Chain A
Amino acid sequence: MILEINHVSFSYGSIGVLRDVRFSVSPGEVLAILGPNGAGKTTLLKCINAMLRPETGSVLVEGHEVLQLAPSDIARKVGYVAQQSEPARLTVFDAVLMGRRPHIRWKVSERDLMVVDAALKRLGLDNLALRYIDQLSGGEFQKVNIARALVQEPSLLLLDEPTSSLDLKNQIEILSLIRRVVCSHRIAAVMTAHDINSALRHAHKILFLKDGMVFAVCGSRDVTAATVEAVYGVRVEIHHVGSIPLVVPLDGQKA
């Protein structure tokens, strides 16, 4: 197991957000956290790399208790792609090199540069290396953010709605990229998502979060209409197009 979460609870002041959350992710797996707005998806993600500190429970990454590690140590194990990142006046290369920060002591080493170079090539960003990131398109910029998390050389990748502001082509490109990297490097990824169909298509496992509790964890092929209805309160049917499950809402159709 790369990630094991046991009995994690979290609250903002007196408002409980997460209650007794537990699940695990194995190498080569992408897990998508789904659930209605305010269900605690982002909060859960931030508990995994200790950006938020759960009140109870444990978060084990490769067997290490994350809550007892220093921030730099966590950053060497867990890469995080935030929902929003600011395009500063940095080149693509420097913006990705920043991901080496947990490894850099005083000076950027030759290996740091080599790792960045390899990551840029893997993501098809190498011809943009010296472009400023505030001149990139949304899709390219998101690839930079992912590349930055990858050069941390993490065993676990956390992504907060990685495709929320991207068009269809970029959504598919980014999500299959994540899946490919996770499979080929035998790491794991946990992402939050709104689009249930793209999550079903690209993630191996789905975790449904409702009112701060795990409603169901299952393989993306095994999601049932009853589960989706119970979590979102919307009547749905699940059709299969080839091997891809497709959730079709029945409410609110055009007359």
Chain B
Amino acid sequence: MHFDDGQVPEEYTRYIGRKIAVILAGVAVLLGLLVVSVSLGSMSIPLLDVVRTLAGRSVSERLDIIILNIRLPQALTAAAAGAGLAVSGAVMQSVLRNPLGSPFTLGLSHAAAFGAALAVMILGAGTMTSSNVGAVHISSPYTTTGIAFFFCLVNAGVIIAVSRLRRSTAEVMVLTGVALGALFTAGTMFLQYFADDMQLAAMVFWTFGDTARASWSELGAIAVLTLMLSLFFQHNSWNYNAIDAGDETARGLGVRVDRVRLLGMLATSLLTAVIVAFLGIIGFVGLVCPHMVRRVIGGDMRFLIPASLVTGAVLLLASDTAARLLLAPHVFPVSVLTAFLGAPVFVALIVRGGRR
């Protein structure tokens, strides 16, 4: 074939440039929002002091503690978790060829909730202690997290095992996920029915996704994993684009469809499992973000992945900040707010025919 009479089309180059500009603008918004988020709270800190402290020029010891030990980890956790959830959603929707692909639809969240409930019930990991903010504390968070994580992986493992038996079609994976979600919900209800008041409170409390739970070490785990897997997803972006065009078209382009789908599922499950296990269930970010981004810059995964990353971070950070301030001095978990935000969008997607 000889196709050497073509040129690099300027119009297309400009079009790509616009997409990159949108993503960079998103990064700028994220950085600005990060500073604002840190400055806001029960005690407002002037923006300039926040910037100074973040740049390493201490203003006062008290501000150092508030900013570096409390607000910054929470803000960064919100950003990292939002980014991880959104990018997982984008990849799941692509490899499953399903606009409703998200940790929710695949039962991952339900599995984590079941794991946490089990930890509380059987291993006595949760006792209720009233603190001054009126919250419930889980007495051994690491056991709970570990078991929630374990059940997330069991969920993902079953989905992958079933699809290996029956070829890894998107339908098989989604249907298995829905079935598992129902099963784990049933399991959780069973445990809740037999739980005492204290345990019940601890179980319910755990499911409220809350970014305040993470300290620097958990934040580090989430951030590193999000970053590494995003590189992996980015490397596969042409494969995901090809799968979007249909399994057969993708095979014709030399994509090992079953393998790309399995690895994609494994990686997204791992990422969401870590986030959910550390923070609890934060719904809808993974579902809604990729759809919002797709509306703006289209479905090309080369750009959808980084743009979802940034948008997810902005969205969850903004929600988290709002959740801290909305009913001040009461602080409520961000998951409640994202659910309020996400549900109408979910309905809008259904009304508009759920097109990707």
Contacts and interface: CB of A to CB of B under 8 A. Distances in A.
15 contacts: A74-B254, A80-B252, A82-B248, A83-B248, A85-B245, A86-B246, A88-B244, A88-B299, A94-B241, A101-B238, A101-B254, A102-B254, A118-B4, A129-B11, A158-B252
B178 to A, nearest CB: 22
Interface string B282-301: 00000000000010001110
Interface of B: 1-9, 11-12, 15, 97, 235, 238-239, 241-242, 244-246, 248-249, 251-256, 294, 298-300, 355-356
B15 A130 contact: yes
Contact of B4 (A99, A104, A114, A130): A114
Given A98-B238, A98-B241, A110-B8, A89 B356 contact: yes
A146 B265 CA distance: 30
A232 interface: no
Given A75-B253, A79-B252, A118-B6, A104 B245 contact: no
A73 interface: yes
Interface of A: 49, 51, 70-76, 78-86, 88-91, 93-95, 98-99, 101-102, 104, 106, 110, 113-119, 121-122, 129-130, 132, 134, 145, 148-155, 158, 185, 187
A111 to B, nearest CB: 8
Which 8 A/B pairs are nearest by Cβ-Cβ distance?
A80-B252, A75-B254, A118-B6, A89-B299, A117-B6, A82-B248, A114-B6, A72-B254
A150 B256 CA distance: 20
B356 A88 contact: yes
Contacts of A94: 241, 298, 300
Contacts of B8: 110, 113-114, 117
A98 B245 CA distance: 10
Nearest to A132: B298
B252 to A, nearest CB: 3
Contact of B6 (A84, A85, A89, A119): A119
A243 B145 CA distance: 77
Given A114-B7, A130-B15, 14 more contacts: A51-B252, A75-B253, A78-B252, A83-B248, A86-B245, A88-B245, A91-B300, A95-B245, A102-B253, A114-B3, A114-B6, A122-B3, A130-B12, A153-B3
Contact of B2 (A85, A148, A185): A185
Contacts of A85: 245-246, 248-249
A63 B309 CA distance: 46
A51 B300 CA distance: 25
B248 A51 contact: yes
Contacts of B1: 150, 153-155, 185, 187
Given A88-B245, A89-B356, A185-B2, A71 B251 contact: yes
B3 A49 contact: no
A101 to B, nearest CB: 5
Given A114-B8, A118-B5, A89 B298 contact: yes
Nearest to A154: B1
Contacts of A152: 253
Contacts of B246: 82, 84-86
A51 B254 contact: no
A84 B246 CA distance: 8
Given A72-B254, A130-B15, A153-B1, A91 B9 contact: no
Contacts of A129: 9, 11-12
Given A115-B3, A118-B6, A154-B1, A91 B15 contact: yes
B12 A101 contact: no
Contacts of B254: 70-76, 101-102
Question: B239, B242, B251, B253 — which one has the most chain A CB atoms within 10 A of its CB?
Answer: B253
A118 B239 CA distance: 23
Given A80-B251, A91-B298, A153-B1, A116 B245 contact: no
A73 B238 CA distance: 16
A132 B6 CA distance: 21
Nearest to B239: A101
A51 B235 CA distance: 23
A84 B4 contact: no
A102 B255 CA distance: 8
Contact of A86 (B9, B244, B294, B298): B244
A101 B253 CA distance: 7
Given A89-B298, A118-B4, A130 B11 contact: yes
A95 B249 CA distance: 11
B248 A145 contact: no
A88 B253 contact: no
Given A88-B241, A89-B298, A75 B252 contact: yes
Contacts of A49: 252
A72 to B, nearest CB: 4
Contacts of B235: 106
A119 to B, nearest CB: 6
B264 to A, nearest CB: 16
B313 to A, nearest CB: 23
Contacts of B3: 114-115, 118-119, 122, 150-151, 153
Nearest to B1: A153
Q: Which of B6, B8, B97, B300 has the most chain A CB within a 10 Å cutoff?
A: B6
Contacts of B252: 49, 51, 75, 78-82, 149, 158
Nearest to A81: B252
A117 B298 contact: no
A228 B224 CA distance: 65
B299 A113 contact: no
Contacts of A72: 254
